[in-house]
């Protein structure tokens, strides 16, 4: 496949039958690439913008078939005889379309972390699911950050919208406005993340300022005609103080919005950090108990925000 002649983008997963990311039953499409580095990210394989190998060391025999197969010589054996390790230069893998290493591995120690898909291919995959959605269902683009691939995102949203498919996007919001705006006519629904209202605390949680995010939310209040539901991942002790809850509620209401879905963070993505050569920083974090989640929900409601905990949403 000559990707240069095709319009498309990089994704790392497609999941059918989701009932938590928009109305009805939905097909989720996970796009590669995200500008944030959230400490709790449960899809670390979505952070880098291009394909990369996923490496499960516990399945590795160190027979080095992958090393010999790689045309770019990006795999190195380190650690000596006693503690052998494979290291991947993932920046070089970004230019690889073949995954020869994965094909050469006989044990399943290597897998594909993302692949290119053309718009027509993706659309026909979506069409296959359509019969299972029911009346309210559709697609939700998530990731990674869908607006990090703006032409791809606009393209697939437009194709779906024109075919009367309900369209939703989940965004971190830290994206230039001119990457978001072209998609708005083809969007029914936006989930928009708010992680912390204080800029310094936001940087500590995500490695990025919240200025662009807040500015984009204000712009969407004026420009977006569909339904926008904010989402707030609750990180115990980091963003669940009453001060931040109050500031978040005030911001939502000041934009003219009123809906918020609070999501307890979890450790489910922890194993995937190893597969992608990254370090998970929150292993010692205790998760919020259900009572705490419900107390935070009640506090938001008291402050005038329609707050839905976890998957207990009215859509």
Task: Give the binding-site size for ligand SF4 (rule: CB under 6 A).
Answer: 25
Cα–Cα–Cα angle for 182, 186, 192, rounded to 5 degrees: 75
Question: Which is closer to ligand SF4, CB of 98 or CB of 207?
Answer: 98
Reduce the secondary structure of 117-158 to three states and give it as a string. EEHHHHHHHHHHHHHHCCCCCEEEEEECCHHHCHHHHHHHHH
Question: Which is closer to ligand SF4, CB of 103 or CB of 225?
Answer: 103
Question: Which is closer to ligand SF4, CB of 69 or CB of 184?
Answer: 69
Q: By the 8 A CB rule, do 155 and 175 touch?
A: no
Question: Which is closer to ligand SF4, CB of 65 or CB of 280?
Answer: 65
Q: Which residues between 72 and 91 bind ligand SF4 (CB under 6 A)?
A: 72, 74-75, 88
Closest CB 78 distance from ligand SF4, rounded Å: 12
Which segments within the chain are labelled E, that is strand? 8-18, 26-31, 52-55, 75-78, 85-88, 110-113, 115-118, 138-143, 166-171, 189-193, 227-234, 259-264, 306-309
Question: Which is closer to ligand SF4, CB of 47 or CB of 220?
Answer: 47
Q: Which stretch binds ligand SF4 (CB under 6 A): 100-108, 221-229, 232-240, 284-292?
A: 100-108
Closest CB 86 distance from ligand SF4, rounded Å: 6
Q: By the 8 A CB rule, do 158 and 186 touch?
A: yes
CA distance 223 to 203: 27
* CA torsion, ordered 57, 48, 196, 166, to nearest 10 deg: -110
Closest CB 117 distance from ligand SF4, rounded Å: 17
Backbone torsion region of residue 11, taken as left when φ is above 0, otherwise alpha when ψ lies between -120 and 50, otherwise beta? beta
Q: What x/- string results for residues 41 through 70 when contact with ligand SF4 is judged by CB under 6 A? A: ------------x------xxxxxxx---x
Closest CB 25 distance from ligand SF4, rounded Å: 34
Among 30, 50, 99, 230, binds ligand SF4 (CB under 6 A): 99
Please give the residue ranges that form the binding site for ligand SF4 (CB under 6 A): 53, 60-66, 70, 72, 74-75, 88, 92-93, 96, 98-101, 104-105, 107, 109-110
């Amino acid at each position: 496949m000559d990707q240069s002649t095709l319009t498309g983008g990089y994704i790392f997963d497609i999941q059918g039958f989701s009932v938590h990311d928009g109305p009805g039953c939905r097909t989720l499409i996970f796009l590669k690439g995200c500008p944030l580095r959230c400490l709790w990210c449960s899809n670390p394989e979505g952070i880098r913008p291009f394909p990369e190998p996923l490496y499960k060391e516990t399945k590795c025999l160190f027979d080095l078939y992958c090393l010999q197969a790689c045309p770019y010589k990006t795999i190195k054996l380190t650690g000596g005889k006693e503690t052998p390790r494979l290291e991947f230069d993932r920046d070089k893998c970004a230019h690889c379309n073949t995954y020869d290493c994965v094909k050469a591995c006989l044990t399943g120690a290597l897998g594909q972390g993302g692949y290119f898909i053309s718009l027509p291919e993706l659309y026909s995959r979506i069409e296959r699911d359509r019969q299972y959605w029911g009346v309210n269902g559709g697609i939700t683009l998530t990731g990674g950050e869908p607006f990090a691939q703006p032409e791809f995102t606009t393209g697939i949203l437009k194709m779906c919208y024109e075919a009367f498919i309900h369209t939703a996007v989940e965004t971190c919001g830290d994206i230039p406005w001119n990457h978001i705006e072209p998609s708005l006519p083809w969007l029914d629904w936006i989930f928009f993340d708010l992680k912390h209202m204080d800029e310094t605390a936001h940087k500590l949680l995500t490695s990025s300022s919240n200025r662009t995010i807040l500015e984009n939310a204000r712009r969407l209040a004026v420009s977006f005609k569909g339904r926008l539901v904010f989402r707030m991942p609750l990180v115990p002790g980091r963003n669940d103080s009453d001060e931040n809850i109050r500031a978040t509620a005030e911001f939502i209401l000041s934009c003219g919005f009123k809906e918020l879905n609070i999501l307890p963070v979890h450790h489910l993505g922890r194993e995937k950090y190893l597969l992608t050569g990254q370090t998970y920083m929150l292993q010692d974090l205790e998760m919020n108990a259900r009572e705490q989640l419900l107390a935070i929900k009640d506090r938001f409601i008291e402050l005038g925000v329609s707050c839905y905990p976890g998957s207990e949403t009215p859509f």
